[in-house]
Amino acid sequence: MGTDVISVVAIGSFSPLGDNPSDVWAQYQSGKTLLTELTAIDSKTFGGVLPVALSEKAERLKKSNPHYKNLDKSVLYAILASRSAIAQSGWDNALNVGVNIGSSRGATDLFEQYHSEFLETGKAAVQASPGTTLGNIASWVAQDIKSSGPEISHSITCSTALHAVLNGVAWLKSGMAQRFLVGGSEAPLTGFTIAQMRAMKIYSYITNEFPCRALDLEKELNTMVLGEGAAVACLESGYKENALAYIRGVGYATEVISHGASLSANGDCLQTSMRMALGAISATDIDAVVMHAPGTVKGDLAEYNAVKAIFGNNIPLLTTNKWKIGHTFGASGMLSLEMAAYMLQHNTFIPSPFYEAVQNRELKNILINAVGFGGNAVSILISKTPQ
Given a cut of 90, whether residue 40 has pLDDT beyond it is no
As separate numbers, helices (DSSP H) first and strands (DSSP E) second, the chain gives 12, 12
Three-state secondary-structure class, residue 58: helix
pLDDT band at 171 (very low <50, low <70, confident <90, very high): very high
What are the residue boundaries of the structural domains of the chain, listed by start?
6-237, 245-383
pLDDT, tens digit, for every residue of 212-233?
A: 999 999 999 999 999 999 999 9
Buried b (16+ CB within 10 A) or exposed e, 237-275: beebeebbbbbbbbbbbbbeeeeebebbebbbbbbbbbb
pLDDT of 93: 72
Given a cut of 70, whether residue 259 has pLDDT beyond it is no
pLDDT, tens digit, for every residue of 95-140?
A: 789 999 999 999 999 999 999 999 999 999 999 998 998 889 999 9
Given a cut of 80, whether residue 1 has pLDDT beyond it is no
Mean predicted confidence (pLDDT) in 233-247: 96
Mean predicted confidence (pLDDT) in 60-73: 96
Same fold, 6-237 and 245-383: yes
Q: What is the dotted CATH code of the domain comprising 245-383?
A: 3.40.47.10
Q: How many other C-beta atoms are found inside a 10 Å radius of the C-beta of residue 87?
A: 12
Q: What is the dotted CATH code of the domain comprising 6-237?
A: 3.40.47.10
Given a cut of 70, whether residue 258 has pLDDT beyond it is no
Burial class (CB in 10 A: 0-12, 13-18, 19+), 43: exposed
pLDDT, tens digit, for every residue of 319-370?
A: 999 999 999 999 999 999 999 999 999 999 999 999 999 999 999 999 999 9
Cα(278)–Cα(312) distance, integer angstroms = 15
Sheet of strand 245-254: strand arrangement: 151-152, 98-102, 179-186, 229-237, 6-14, 245-254, 376-383, 365-372, 288-290, 317-319
